[in-house]
Amino acid sequence: MFNNVIVRVPGKSLSEGISGADEGKPIYNSAIVQHEYYVNALTKTGVNITVLPPLEEFPDSCFIEDNALCTSKCTIISRPGAETRRKEVQSSDLQEALGKFYKNIEEIKEPGTIEPGDIMMVGDHYYIGLSDRTNEEGAEQMIAILEKYGLSGETVTMKEMLHLKTGVNYLEHNNLLVAGEFKDDPRFDKFNKIEIPEDEAYAANCIWINDYIIVPAGYPKVKKAIEDLGQYKVLEVDTSEFRKVDGGLSCLSLRF
């Protein structure tokens, strides 16, 4: 169960965020509205929400998930693989917000890089994708810190996705959304896999919060597949503006 969520309001600089998509630049006013709907959906799940203000000097800062990994025992400040985001994690309001909830605060050191968009939590075990943003040194540091607190982790080799959770997301109750290269990964065979069709691949990035599943709006096949499991309340949120800068539902919050 999650009790707390931290989000950061998008800045007007969002249009300058990192993007591999070819869908144009996000419209700031639309992004703000979508973010408000996102926060409203989070509220329905029963969590307490801390809202941090925009950081205009960091266009991608609303994707706060990549700033830290929040576990049941500690929080670990990341060291993003994207150089433009390195100083973002040092923002005083983030440090202050995390300090209200955690006594144990760790951090990834150079030359390690890791972005928690590459980390999927399954109970006390963490799958860590090796991507362009997360290197082996960062993953090894993360696993060592997790083990220090009685948790565990393992690495997942990736070839196609930006982040691990671009293509695989755990919904609790042994249910796993899988897309692309993760459909045939034997390490996930023990889960009940819900395979995401290629034409709705973006919707592989859904989030579980207290038996609610938040699903990106506009992907009816994925929504129906989750509803058909009969285990969750499903909420839809439009994230189309954030998709333009490679963002999804999980990117927009720290959940713990």
Q: Is residue 163 annotated as part of the catalytic site, yes or no?
A: yes
142, burial (CB in 10 Å: exposed 0-12, middle 13-18, buried 19+) = buried
- Give dist(CA 11, CA 30) in Å, integer: 12
* CA-based nearest residue to 111, from 74, 138, 93: 138
Tell me the two tokens of residue 163. Answer: 């982040």
Main-chain phi, psi angles of 167, to 5 degrees: -125, -5
- Give dist(CA 92, CA 95) in Å, integer: 5
Q: 62, 70, 206, 251: which is the annotated catalytic residue?
A: 251
Q: How far apart are the first and last CA of the chain?
A: 8
Q: 62, 163, 173, 206: which is the annotated catalytic residue?
A: 163
The answer to whether 38 and 7 have CB atoms below 8 angstroms apart is yes
Q: Is residue 251 annotated as part of the catalytic site, yes or no?
A: yes
Give the active site residues.
Answer: 163, 251
